[in-house]
Chains A and B, each alone.
Chain A
Amino acid sequence: MLRKRSYFKSKTLPYLLILPQVLVTLTFFYWPAAQGLVSSFQISDPFGLRTQFVWFDNFIALFRDPLYLKSVGITLLFSGSVAALSICSGLFLATMANRILKFKSLTRTLLIWPYAVAPAISGVLWLFLLHPSYGVVSISLKNWFGLDWNPLLDSNDAMLMIVLASSWKQISYNFVFFVAGLQAIPNSLIEAAAMDGASPFRRFWAIVFPLLAPTMFFVTVMNIIFSFFETFGVIHTVTQGGPGGSTNILVYKVYQDGFIGLNLGSSAAQSIVLMGLIILITTLQFKYVERKIHYTG
């Protein structure tokens, strides 16, 4: 198989071409990360005038803190729910969108639009629907069903709300990839199965789903990373970690402890732990799940 390669006459030109990107990565990623790593081993006053090296004390204090362990649990629950909801919905929508005959392009475009909405805005939009005092849906829930919906006070309601607000835009992202994945499945396979008498349901689970596995894998990794980090905007606009810390996911707690509580050592330690957690999850996924995936060709 011919591999595409660019050939450069000059030996240094390729290095020069990637230099800007490397500089940006070094300055905006590696330098702060290194600083965070150093800070996590120190305790310091907010103004940086009194810094002490304390080995692993910050990390030990973290794992002794019931609030931190609670935050880990909340994050896992939140992540799992967001990933499950967005993947299932995205897959369902993609499969259905694949089968319609009229207005195929229009439907697809409309289903992709929510991805363009920033997480913070998504949070505010859902707040307009679900806020207990002025949310349109909340008021209807109270008047028509008598439900006591109050995400400001009830932790389960609050969790449900941020899961919805976060999944909503991620469904579009998954939709795009699933639609592309579905296109890659040869029609001949589906037709052959149909001729053999398989129901649409059977056709989906026996043929389409296994062939979508690479897409599924990719989408799962991206969704988990999204729900760990990019949902900060949703939490900040909707619940600010409340009520009573029940929606305080790890990435939000880093912000709260560092910028509101001004405890820089603990906040840095939390960032490092968070980074470690994500590296672990991604490595595990690549190691164990990827083995089961059959890539075509």
Chain B
Amino acid sequence: MLKKRLVLMSVAIAFFSSIAVPAFAAPTEISWWHAMRGARGEVVQQIVDGFNSSQSDFKVIATYKGAYDEVVNAGVAAVRARKQPHILQAFEVGTQTMMLSGAIYPVHELMKDNGFDVDWSGYLQPVLSYYMNAEGNLMSMPFNSSTPVMYYNVDLFKKAGLAPLSKETPVTWDELGEITKKLVDSGVPGGLVTAWQSWTQVENYSAIHNIPFASLSNGYEGLDVELMINNPKVVNHIARLKEWMADKRFYYGGQKYQGPKSEFIAQNAGLYIDSISGIAKLKSAVKDFNWDVAPLPVESWMKEPQNSIIGGASLWVFQGLPKKDYKGVAAFLSYLANTKSQVLWHKETGYFPITLKAYDQLKQEGYYAESPYQEVGIKQLTRRNPTKISRGLRLGYFVQIRNIINEELELVWNDSKTPQQAMDAAVERSNVKLREFERIYK
């Protein structure tokens, strides 16, 4: 009887002490929903653990919520249920939707309100400018940013008598025409394939050559924006690619990246345009040939090519949570931007460091001397200060617009339409979507 009493008492004491103690010392939890799975998820967790152990007021809990669109959907559902997380990673095509949502806390205000005096000029401007509003204030924190580059098969180049490409000076598109011809003549099944054709051949082509993709500074300045991709320069570029299809100097490998990547790995194509995230994929998948990285080709009439634009995702902060939590959110965003985190993130994933300090440190460490191909993307991104039309795109229903551009391009590749007809149709159909979007926010 006494033993039973003792046992019951000790259980009660243990129970009550276990619920009492955390109430006194619990750090405030900050929730972060992201789309980084696998190896990138592990690096995310490493950074989060670093922040959590560096202080005891806040604890960040990072949760993998699925692919980019699934994470955004989770965020949407959470806002509707008033259970939103503190931080959401949203892909770059969702920028306009997030910015106009009325549910977010702009990052520049968040940092200022919580006493963090950020020197935004110490950041890589081309990376920040995609996520700024028209006045130049930062709305979301860039997190994983990439840009397209051109990969090429060094062995096949040698066989065709071609010198390796410069990592600094981009080849011209005319030169690329000759290079691909030599490759095909030397027995390679095809010359160039490209992933994400809308992003690389229309959006980035326009940015690099300072051609407007859409009116009103690519949509930054208003919702009554219209697409302008049916201009002569872009149409000519598409027409040239179509012309190259005749002798396989260029061929179409599919809408996303899987098809073109397999073609490059199988050595069916000597050149392959894709995001810098392809570096990690090629490193693990290519066993039997040497490859290297070069900047994207530029037109010969463009003497001073602009920067390329970024892809990837950024971190958005939702409003409506307890005021004291935001101190922790600001502290975490500041931690993410510190040099140590940025250097780790870049080394492990290849995504750009967002601060000049981190970039300098990597240079000093000799990281780029060891792996020069890692710097091609950064150099291309920062070679010139962005203009109003090379800083990025700000369009509603951008996912649908990219699909439209993809479909119209496919109609060019399979001989159903001329490039002019396709780009005209793409502009017309996209403008319908843009007007639908505008109507919601009027």
Contacts and interface: CB of A to CB of B under 8 A. Distances in A.
A260 B94 CA distance: 10
Query: Chain A contact residues: over half helix, strand or loop, or mixed?
Result: loop
A43 B440 contact: yes
A139 to B, nearest CB: 12
Contact of A133 (B73, B262, B436): B262
A47 B79 contact: yes
Contacts of B102: 47, 49-50
B74 to A, nearest CB: 10
Interface in A29-45: 43-45
Interface in B364-390: none
Interface string A108-121: 00000000000000
Contacts of B441: 45, 50
Interface in B63-95: 69-70, 72-73, 76, 79-80, 94
B252 A153 contact: yes
B193 to A, nearest CB: 11
B103 A49 contact: yes
Interface residues of B, number: 32
A46 B266 CA distance: 42
Given A153-B259, A259-B69, A260-B69, A49 B439 contact: no
Interface in B262-276: 262, 266
B160 to A, nearest CB: 25
A152 interface: yes
Nearest to A153: B254
B223 to A, nearest CB: 12
B7 to A, nearest CB: 42
A239 to B, nearest CB: 11
Contacts of B155: none
A263 B398 CA distance: 11
A80 interface: no
Query: Chain B contact residues: over half helix, strand or loop, or mixed?
Result: helix
Contacts of B73: 259, 262
A242 B256 CA distance: 10
B436 A50 contact: no
Contacts of A266: 436
Interface string A256-285: 010111110010000000000000000000
B403 A245 contact: yes
Contacts of A133: 262, 266
B400 A263 contact: yes
B97 A43 contact: no
Contacts of A47: 76, 79-80, 101-103
Contacts of B253: 153
14 contacts: A43-B440, A45-B441, A47-B76, A48-B79, A49-B101, A50-B440, A61-B436, A153-B259, A243-B410, A244-B410, A259-B70, A261-B400, A262-B72, A262-B94
Interface of A: 43-50, 52, 61, 67, 133, 152-153, 242-245, 257, 259-263, 266
Please give me the 6 A-B residue pairs with the lowest Cβ-Cβ distance, nearest first. A244-B410, A46-B76, A260-B69, A47-B79, A133-B262, A261-B400
Interface of B: 69-70, 72-73, 76, 79-80, 94, 97, 100-103, 252-255, 258-259, 262, 266, 397, 399-400, 403, 406-407, 410, 436, 439-441
Given A43-B436, A47-B101, 7 more contacts: A43-B439, A45-B100, A45-B440, A47-B80, A61-B436, A152-B258, A262-B397
